[in-house]
Copies of this chain bind each other. A is one copy, B any other.
Amino acid sequence: MTRAAAIEPAIGDLTSRLAGFAGAPCSAPESVRAVARLSALDWVAVGLAGREEPVARILRDLAAEEGGTEQSSLFAAPRKAPARMAALVNGATSHALDYDDTHFAHIGHPSVAVFPAALAVAEAERASLPRMLEAALVGMELSIRVGLWLGRSHYQAGFHQTATAGAFGAAAAAARLMRLETAQTALCLGLVATRAAGLKAQFGTMGKPYHAGMAAAAGVEAAQLVRAGFIANPDALEGPFGFAATHHGAADAGAALEGLGTVWQFETVSHKFHACCHGLHAALEALRGLDVRPDTLARVVVTTHPRWMSVCNQPEPTTGLGAKFSYSAAVALHLLGHDTARLESYSDTHCADPRLIALRDLVEVVPDDTLRETEARIALHHRGGRIETAQHDLDAPLPLDAREARVAEKAKGLIGADRTEAVRALLRSDAAASELGDLIRG
C-alpha cells in the first residue's frame, strides 16, 4: 500500500469520496438491493436474447479466436474467456438490442457497463453472488454519480455516458470485488479516466453496444493493473488536463456527491418493457390500462411530445424493424394481443397481416408540446361514440412489486419461464457467482 498511499495527498475530494464509497460497507436498504436484483435478471434476459445479434456474434468469435485462460463466462458461448474479454463481449451483447435499463438522471445504461465487469471479476475471483450483486450496485451507483458530475454538457457535446461514466462504474465494481484499498481504487478511477471513451456519433451502428463492452473491459483491466502495482494519476478526474476539463464536463461535484452512501440514485433506474423505440413506451403503457375491444374501434388517437414525431412515427411500416419505430404498428400489435415486450412480435409477417393493417390505419398521432417527453395520452374512439382515454408518464414511480412482476414477465418472454425462475432463485441465494456464469453460457 505504501506506494499508493504516498500518492493520496494529490487526490481531489471527488475521487477520494468516490473511492471511499466504492470500498465501504454498502448501506443500501433491501428495497434498493431488490432493484439491483431486478436489473440483474433484466441484464441476463436481454443478454441472452441478444446473443444472435451480429455485434454479439462478431465479438464472441473474437473471444474464441483469442482463447486464453478460462476465467469468466460469455453469453451463449460454451468456453469461458479471460475476465477482460468476457466483460467486453458481454457488455456489447447485452446492449445489442438496446432493451436494457436506462437511468435518466445522467442518461446512461448502468447495467450493461457494470454487470459484465462485476460478473467477470466475480467469477475470476470466485466470489459469491451476493458480493457480485453488491459490487454491481455500488458500481452502477458510482457510474450515475460520475454521470451527474459530468453533467448534461458532457452528453450534449457528444459523449455516450454509458461508455464514459460507465467505465468508472465498472472499475469501481471490479476494484470492490478484488478488495482493493481505497487508495488503489482511486488509482483505478484515475487510470480509467485516461481510457473512458465513446461518441454519440456511433449511435445507430454496432459501435453503440460496443461502448458498453469497452466500458466494462476498461474497468476490469484498470483494476487488474492497479492490483499488480500500476501507478496512474488519481487526480485525473478533477485535476488539470483531467477528464472533466478535457471532456466538456460540468464538474458538478455537488450533484455527484449529494447524499452519496445514503441516497441511491440507482433506485430510479428505468426498465424497458417494450422491445421497441423508447418514444413508444409511454403510449403502450397508457394502452395497457384500457379495456381493449379492437372490433368496435373507429379511431385511435395517440398524443405525444413533438420530439418523437421524427423518431418513431412511421405510419405504414412493412418490416419488423420499422414497426419498432411506429406508433400505429405498435399500438395495433397490442390491440391484436401480441406481446410488445417480445422481440418476435415485431415481425414482417405481422406487419403484412390485414388485421394489423386495418387497425394501424385507425391510428392518428398528434404532437403536443405541453406533454413531457416521457408522457403520452391515448384515446380509443369506439363506434357509437364511446371514448376511453388513458395517460402515462414513464417517470411515475412503479411500486416494487409491480416492477418485479413486469421484469419477470419480460424475462419470461425473452428467455422462457424456467430460465427466468432459475435466475430469480439464484439471485436470492448465496451461490457462487460462477453459477450465474454457468447459466448465461448455455
Contacts and interface: CB of A to CB of B under 8 A. Distances in A.
Interface of A: 54-55, 58-59, 61-62, 65-69, 82, 84-85, 157-159, 163, 190-191, 193-202, 204-207, 210-211, 214, 221, 224-225, 228-233, 235-236, 239-243, 245-248
A236 B225 CA distance: 30
B201 A241 contact: yes
A230 B58 contact: yes
Given A66-B82, A158-B246, A201-B240, A230 B206 contact: yes
Contact of A236 (B191, B201, B240, B248): B201
Copies per complex?
Answer: 2
Contacts of A242: 158, 199, 201
9 tightest CB-CB pairs across the interface, nearest first? A68-B68, A158-B241, A66-B82, A201-B236, A197-B197, A158-B246, A201-B241, A200-B241, A207-B232
B207 A58 contact: no
19 contacts: A54-B231, A55-B230, A58-B230, A62-B224, A65-B82, A68-B82, A158-B241, A158-B245, A159-B246, A191-B210, A193-B199, A194-B207, A197-B197, A199-B241, A199-B242, A201-B239, A201-B242, A202-B236, A207-B232
Contacts of A69: 65-68
Contacts of A190: 201-202, 207
A221 B163 CA distance: 17
Given A67-B69, A67-B82, A68-B69, 5 more contacts: A54-B231, A58-B225, A66-B69, A158-B241, A194-B202
B232 A202 contact: yes
Contacts of A210: 191, 194, 225, 230, 232
A411 to B, nearest CB: 28
A224 B235 CA distance: 34
A62 B228 CA distance: 9
Given A194-B201, A199-B193, A206 B232 contact: yes
A321 to B, nearest CB: 15
A35 to B, nearest CB: 30
Residue from A68, A82, A246 whose CB has the most chain B CB atoms within 10 Å: A246
A157 B247 CA distance: 9
B197 A201 contact: no
A50 to B, nearest CB: 15
A204 B230 contact: no
